[in-house]
Amino acid sequence: MIELGISAAQFFAQYYEKQFFVRRSALTCRPVTWQHINAALFAWDPRDGLLHLFKNGRVPAEHYTEIFTDLSMQRSKIVKDVFYDFLRNGATLVLNRLETKSEPVHDLTMEIARFVGEKAVANGYAAFGGEGTFAKHWDTHDVFAVQLIGRKRWRIFTPTFQLPLPEQKSKEKKHECPSEPIFDDYLETGDVLYIPRGWWHEAIPLAGEESLHIAVGIHPMLIRDYLVWSCFKKLPSAVELRQSIKAECGVPESLARAVRAASEMLQGEAELAEYKQEIFASERVVSRFALETLGRPNATVGQFRLNSAYRNTSLSSARVHVNGQAISMDATSQGQIGALFSQSAISLNDISKSMSDSKTLMLLQQLAANDVISPL
């Protein structure tokens, strides 16, 4: 679905957290249409706080939604005439976490997540003109902007604050943004733009033109978070770090010993692997349903994909965490899971080449029951 024209190894070496990247006509098909967005809106409950209109700032939800009682059940709905009027007059519709509402957006998001090997979420932006949603700003996570319909003007400026953390917003530093962009061009339908976190940018709709794009945000593990985790889970085991500091004394010698002990522990392979495994175990993804196959007794799946973004999960043990589930496998089964991590999709025939039909079916049933795989 997405062809970035570059390997993951090249991307990490040349661009990841270093430089913006543009790939023209990256989409091999037109995966998302207005009909898909209409379908997502049909089932959307505006009370979840994920749907917004922006026009000179965020429009209060009560201006275009209403709460009503439907057969004793309280519901919320979009008031369409007001909603459409906002869009006709230049408002931008923001659909946060769109990958949880739309299957094709979910598939796009998961494909990018698997490319970088990190968790990802998608926000959608729809407009028919106007001035855009946000002025110049930076994001605190890396973004892949995927232009799905129409076109939009993008301007990118060099960063003035390297690798901001989630709480380090650009709002108070807008005066630091350079005046001249280093990229000022249009994204056409099918184009993809990668922007590292901390890089100033703005997206500008074009007067009288439709535009729909998603911003796929990448959420990797951070060294800061590993250190915080270690402070509570690992460092208390070192006696050097359990010693006290006297209020009336200066810097004690015991502090230097504690720092050395902490440094050795934090750089240990086993400690980092334990932290990663805890992150892998907590992963949850939204995946497609397949009642007609997985809900039917003795059904088989012809082709499927892994529901995890983490392609580097360790396969060295008999129990592997995928999508929050611990799966027990023998050596042969582990080899097949390894193939899932290295490929975007795999067929039943591919697995059957090295496993018996009955064993293949048992493995698939176990993986599907635990929401580790999804049929295609």
- Answer with the residue of higher pLDDT: 131 or 114: 114
Which of the four pLDDT bands, split at 50, 70 and 90, describes residue 246?
Answer: confident
> What is the average per-residue pLDDT within 340-357?
59
Highest mean predicted confidence (pLDDT) among 291-300, 329-338, 346-355 = 291-300
Q: Is residue 101 part of a domain?
A: yes
> What is the average per-residue pLDDT within 71-91?
94
Where is the domain boundary, 211, 238, 270?
270
Query: What gap in Å lies between CA 74 and CA 51, rounded to an integer?
Result: 19
Which of the four pLDDT bands, split at 50, 70 and 90, describes residue 154?
Answer: very high
User: Do 97 and 240 belong together in one domain?
Assistant: no
User: Do 210 and 141 belong together in one domain?
Assistant: yes
User: Do 33 and 95 belong together in one domain?
Assistant: yes
User: Do 28 and 92 belong together in one domain?
Assistant: yes
User: Do 71 and 149 belong together in one domain?
Assistant: yes
> What is the average per-residue pLDDT within 336-351?
61
User: Do 48 and 196 belong together in one domain?
Assistant: yes
Q: Do the Cβ atoms of 173 and 161 come closer than 8 Å?
A: yes
Predicted TM-score (pTM) of this structure? 0.89
Predicted local distance difference test score (pLDDT) of residue 292: 78
Q: What is the pLDDT of residues 280-297, one digit of tens each?
A: 888 887 788 878 777 777
User: Do 295 and 146 belong together in one domain?
Assistant: no
User: Do 177 and 30 belong together in one domain?
Assistant: yes
Q: Is residue 17 part of a domain?
A: yes
pLDDT at 321 over 90: no
Order of strands, sheet of 92-95, starting from the edge strand that comes earlier in the sequence? 21-23, 192-195, 142-150, 211-219, 119-127, 92-95, 51-54, 58-59
Q: Is residue 182 part of a domain?
A: yes
- Answer with the residue of higher pLDDT: 208 or 298: 208
Q: By percentage, how much of the chain surpasses pLDDT 70?
A: 83
- Answer with the residue of higher pLDDT: 343 or 163: 163
Q: Is residue 143 part of a domain?
A: yes
Q: What is the CATH number of the domain that holds 64?
A: 2.60.120.650
User: Do 163 and 79 belong together in one domain?
Assistant: yes
Q: Is residue 341 part of a domain?
A: yes
pLDDT at 314 over 60: no
User: Do 187 and 331 belong together in one domain?
Assistant: no
pLDDT at 343 over 90: no
Please count the structural domains in the chain.
Answer: 3
User: Do 23 and 106 belong together in one domain?
Assistant: yes
Predicted local distance difference test score (pLDDT) of residue 119: 92
Q: Is residue 63 part of a domain?
A: yes
Average pLDDT, the chain: 87
Q: Is residue 278 part of a domain?
A: no
Q: Is residue 306 part of a domain?
A: yes
List, as one string, the DSSP characters of 138-155.
--SSEEEEEEEEE-EEEE
> What is the average per-residue pLDDT within 196-221?
96
> What is the average per-residue pLDDT within 140-153?
97
Q: What is the pLDDT of residues 293-311, one digit of tens each?
A: 777 776 666 677 777 787 6
Query: What gap in Å lies between CA 335 and CA 354, rounded to an integer?
Result: 9
Q: What is the pLDDT of residues 16-26, one digit of tens each?
A: 999 999 999 99
Distances (CA, A) of 249 to 240, 243, 253, 259, 260: 18, 14, 11, 18, 21
Half-sphere exposure of 281 (CA within 13 A, CB side): 10
Q: Which domain holds residue 237?
A: 223-270
pLDDT at 88 over 60: yes
User: Do 81 and 134 belong together in one domain?
Assistant: yes
